Amino acid sequence: MKCHCEEQRDEAIQPDGSPCRLTPARDDRTGGITAQAKPREEPKQAPAPELADAWRVLLLNDPVNRMSYVVMVLRRVFGFDEEEARRHMLEVHESGRSVVWAGTREQAEAHMFALQQWHLTAIIQAEAR
């Protein structure tokens, strides 16, 4: 197998701009240079996000807003169906809070802000490990 970089000792660039994967080596039988293939290096993958990056959006109970209004807001902000929005509303009504969303901090802050724009009380909280 011959490569245009056989005369060179260092790795070269092929005419198409890609690096040459063949490296020159001495052939003691012929006294010339032959090419040997280098093993391909696999790219390293980024580590998976850790649990520390997980945040929750909590909707808190307030005495001001009607239940039907809370259901309507949950449907518009999160795209919940009627049943899921009612379940979260009842959980807020009965226990004082409901986790309505979980994910990255930036998205959690955006959802919290959207709920606050609708005059609902919402906070974000880091998930426990």
**Model confidence band, residue 39 (pLDDT cutoffs 50, 70, 90):** low
pLDDT at 127: 86
User: Count of domains in the chain?
Assistant: 2
- CATH number for the domain spanning 98: value is 3.30.1390.10
Residue 34 has pLDDT above 90, yes or no: no
* 73 and 113 assigned to the same domain: yes
* 29 and 55 assigned to the same domain: no
Domain of residue 92: give its range: 51-126
Query: Which of 31-45, 50-64, 80-94 shows the lowest per-residue confidence on average (mean pLDDT)?
Result: 31-45
pTM for this prediction: 0.59
CA dist 8 and 25 (Å) reads: 10
User: Mean pLDDT across the chain, nearest whole number?
Assistant: 80
Q: What is the mean pLDDT of residues 5-22?
A: 57
Nearest alpha carbon to residue 105 among 60, 57, 73: 57
